[in-house]
Amino acid sequence: MSEVGLAPTPEDFVPDEKNRIKLSDLAGPGIVFVLFIGVWYLLSSVILPKHKRFLLPTPDAVITEGFGVWRSGERRGLQPILLSLWDSAKIALLGLAITIVIGMSIAILMSMRRWLERATWPYLVAIQSAPILALTPLIRALVEGTQRQRLLVVVLIAIFPIVSNTLFGLLSADKSQHELFTLQGASRWTRLAKLQFPAALPNIFVGLRISAGLAVIGAVVGDFYFRQGGVVGIGAQIDVYRAKLWGPELIAAIILASVLGLVVFLLFGWLAKAAIGKWHITTRGQ
């Protein structure tokens, strides 16, 4: 910075680095959003044949008919969509909580016993790879109650990232730190609580963020295949709109389901920053 009374130096005209980063953070998503809306209009108004354009209504039609109408008819309007979204959100969050407890417990046990890790991995990979649609009859036959069936789908879809990332973090603690704990005669649980678990936190939160998005997907998938009686869950509502060819409501429900996944993902990102942001620094482009 130039002194008082002297001519300004070139450094005085360099924009602040933090402000420049904030501007780019805002401009990037804005440009992508404008491009997305433009492509949407192009598809719905130009590219699609006229007899198929009802399948993809324009953004303004979705806003006015999907989001702009509170309730119209039995299942049309924003109110039934929000009620179904809330039902799916409860299933996703409860299923995610169950998944975190089970997944982290499995990862901790695998980190303590090599033979257990080798014995468990093939089954975890099989669960991750198995198509849920193929397991639907088995789940319906073995598990009673629609809510339990939907929760099981969430757990099956979301458990693998938590186990894999937690295990990787627990096994990545510094070797010299392990040797120091060995010299001090630390017990296995002391080593886990004071060395391995703190070192694994960045990886654990990566797994949580991935599983958070997968939990929402699992809840929507469970809505499609496990419902009895009235429509529950945003996935079941989407299926109704698809069958009745209600385009604006269908797109509005899909958008809100995506927003739910984004919100849960960002929530765990905020938790990660609050928990480890002060001591775990990740740099990009350096």
pLDDT at 101 over 90: yes
- Written as one letter, the residue type at 108 is I
Asked if 214 and 153 count as a contact pair (C-beta separation under 8 A), the reply is no
Which one-letter DSSP state was computed for residue 2?
P
pLDDT of residue 279: 57
The tokens for 212 are 């958070």
What homologous superfamily is domain 80-276 in, according to CATH? MetI-like (1.10.3720.10)
- The ranges of the chain annotated as CATH 1.10.3720.10 are 80-276
> Nearest Cα to 98, choosing from 235, 279, 219?
219
Q: What is the 3-state secondary structure (H, E, C) of 135-179?
A: HHHHHHHHCCCHHHHHHHHHHHHHHHHHHHHHHHHHCCCCHHHHH
4-52: pLDDT as tens digits:
445 555 545 444 444 455 666 777 778 888 898 999 889 888 888 888 8
124-173: pLDDT as tens digits:
888 888 888 788 888 888 888 888 899 999 999 999 999 999 999 888 87
The tokens for 285 are 């482009």
d(Cα 100, Cα 198) in Å, to the nearest integer?
Answer: 17
d(Cα 16, Cα 285) in Å, to the nearest integer?
Answer: 18
